[in-house]
Amino acid sequence: MNPKINAYIGFSVKKGSVVLGLDAIETYKKKIHLILCSTNLAENSYKKAVAEGQKRNCSVVSLDGIEETLKRNCKVLAICDKQLADAIKENLL
């Protein structure tokens, strides 16, 4: 994974603008700008994440190494800060 993406995810966690886990994302009431999924996420969970992204009108991206970045056993996270979400999307290319 791109080191800049790691840094932006870390900034989001420090800022408190991240939601960890698919269940938490589904119950979160505020705006979500980007959903990041691990590449080793189960197919059913990935389908749920994509459906949640369509419902909230945000992008869903699969990345390798999310668990190592967060140092937690979390395979799905949502970024709630628009600037950080845009920066992550920009560095995906």
Over residues 12-42, the pLDDT tens digits come to: 999 999 999 999 999 999 999 999 999 999 9
Q: What is the pTM of this model?
A: 0.92
- Looking up residue 21, the CATH number of its domain turns out to be 3.30.1330.30
Q: How many domains does the chain have?
A: 1
- Contact (Cβ atoms closer than 8 angstroms) between residue 82 and residue 28: no
Over residues 37-63, the pLDDT tens digits come to: 999 999 999 999 999 999 999 999 999
**What ranges in 1-93 are assigned the alpha helix state H?**
3-15, 22-27, 43-56, 66-70, 82-91
- Contact (Cβ atoms closer than 8 angstroms) between residue 18 and residue 78: yes
CA atoms within 13 A on the CB side of 20: 14
DSSP single-letter state for residue 39:
T
Domain that residue 82 falls in: 3-91
